Structure 1
Amino acid sequence: MAAGAGPLSSVPEVEIDPEGTFKYILVRVEGGSGAEGHRDIVRGTAAAEFHNHIFEKGYGKADHSVTVEILKRTYKDYGFSWSDDKK
């Protein structure tokens, strides 16, 4: 496969507001193979008060129940709880 022609090449490298001061996140997207095993992308918006708001806008809110189930498989002796409180 030619460089830049893989599935990750369709993911825009940067999506930020055209002007202003704002929060941003740097995300490593993985899923390609060979030389395109990952791609670092930048996302930012003035509408986000916190960094996690950017991630939620671009990729959806994390399903905390799925995260807890994954953690339970690795950390069998730990107790886990989570909440979705917005403060």
Structure 2
Amino acid sequence: MEALMARLSAVEDVDIDDDGVFKYVLIKVSASNPVEEFSKVIVRGYSWAEYHADIYDAASQRIEPLGLDCECLGGGRIQHAPNNKRLKVYGYSMGFGKADHQITCDLLKTKYLNYNITWTDGGY
């Protein structure tokens, strides 16, 4: 059980680009043994990605070799303005559907402590 928890906790909760507007995905990462399952949700967002699936594929290729499972919970966009300390979460993924932006904001708040972080269901 400790080994599973260690692998799961080694996965960073938030990894997004430092500036700009980009696609993001919300991913459930889980570890299980025959008796128990442990999981957490992470957010990944990058401007290099043409599609939300590109982000999910890159993340799962790094995480699954650790013996963990990945499931995409949806996506959207993030507008990151570090000069104004603002993050805005909005939109959806054509392939994965809309992520729960409230969960995304809650995760972002753990890393970007002094930021104004908001979300909306509008926009693409």
SS at match of 1:18: coil
Query: Residue type matched to 2:6 in 1?
Result: G
Q: Compute the TM-score of the two structures, normalised by the length of structure 1.
A: 0.55
Q: Distance in 1 between matches of 2:16 and 2:49?
A: 11
Larger fraction in strand: 2
AA aligned opposite 2:43: V
Distance 2:43 2:30 in 1: 14
Q: Residue 17 and residue 35 in structure 1: after superposition, are their counterparts in 2 closer, same or farther (change >3 A)?
A: farther
| Aligned residue number for residue 42 of structure 1 | 43
Total equivalences in the alignment: 58
Tell me the equivalent position of 2:12: 12
Normalised by the size of structure 2, how large is the TM-score? Answer: 0.40
Query: What's the C-alpha RMSD, in Å, of the aligned pairs?
Result: 2.4
Instruction: Tell which structure's C-alpha radius of gyration is larger.
Output: 1
Q: Distance in 2 between matches of 1:51 and 1:9?
A: 24
Structure 2 gap segments, 5+ residues each: 62-124
Separation of aligned partners in 1, 2:23 and 2:39: 23
C-alpha distance in structure 2 between counterparts of 1:32 and 1:15, whole Å: 24
Deviation at 1:36, TM superposition (A): 7.1
Q: Please give the per-residue CA displacement for 1:32-55, whole angstroms capped at 9, x wherever unaligned.
A: 579971010000100111100111
Identity across aligned pairs (percent)?
Answer: 38
Deviates more, 1:22-31 or 1:32-41: 32-41
Change (3 A) 1:32 1:43: same
